[in-house]
């Protein structure tokens, strides 16, 4: 049985963006591409309507490239439980109010029992300072939190 990975919006964004001049971003793009080409087949991949909505924003050509990456990935249902957990993550301060969509990525992942949440969003999601609060809230609501990680962490053997 394959482990389940929720693909957050930063992954298709890094996969399809023009190569950045910023060395850190360029490295993230390269690592993401390496994971996508060599490791994604080891996992069952999932997204949500949140990923589709965010990927649809911005330049139409870039949005088309992002959406094409997502075409054959199963979309998880956004249930009332997802909404409630997302709201609680914001209300209890694990995720800032102005970044509520990040709370919903975590919520859809946790409610659906994903093993991993794959992201480059290290500001609000893959953030070691926020992770304990995220995990506490998820568990308090009866959900095991996902292991939040970057593609680099899923490249390691």
**What range defines the domain where residue 51 resides?**
3-149
Tokens of 5: 């990975």
Q: Is residue 154 part of a domain?
A: no
Q: Is residue 156 part of a domain?
A: no
Domain harbouring 82, CATH code:
3.40.50.1010
Query: What is the number of structural domains in the chain?
Result: 1
pLDDT at 157: 63
Q: Is residue 56 part of a domain?
A: yes
pTM of the model: 0.94
The tens digit of pLDDT for each residue in 36-86 reads: 999 999 999 999 999 999 999 999 999 999 999 999 999 999 999 999 999
Please list the alpha-helical segments (H only) found in 46-99.
Answer: 49-55, 60-70, 80-91
- Secondary structure of residue 49 in the 3-state scheme: helix
Q: Is residue 155 very low, low, confident or very high in pLDDT (cuts 50, 70, 90)? A: confident
């Amino acid at each position: 049985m394959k482990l389940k990975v929720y693909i957050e919006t930063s992954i298709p964004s890094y996969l399809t963006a023009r190569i950045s001049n910023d060395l850190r971003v360029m490295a993230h793009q390269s690592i993401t591409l390496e994971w996508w080409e060599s490791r994604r087949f080891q996992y069952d991949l999932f997204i949500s309507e949140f990923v589709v909505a965010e990927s649809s924003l911005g330049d139409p050509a870039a949005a088309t490239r992002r959406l094409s990456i997502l075409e054959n990935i199963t979309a998880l249902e956004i249930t009332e439980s997802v909404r409630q957990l997302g709201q609680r993550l914001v209300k209890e301060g694990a995720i800032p109010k102005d970044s509520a969509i990040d709370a919903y990525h975590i919520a859809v992942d946790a409610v659906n029992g994903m093993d991993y949440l794959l992201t480059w969003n290290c500001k609000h999601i893959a953030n070691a300072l926020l992770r304990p609060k995220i995990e506490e809230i998820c568990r308090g609501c009866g959900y095991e939190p996902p292991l939040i990680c970057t593609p680099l962490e899923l490249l390691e053997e």
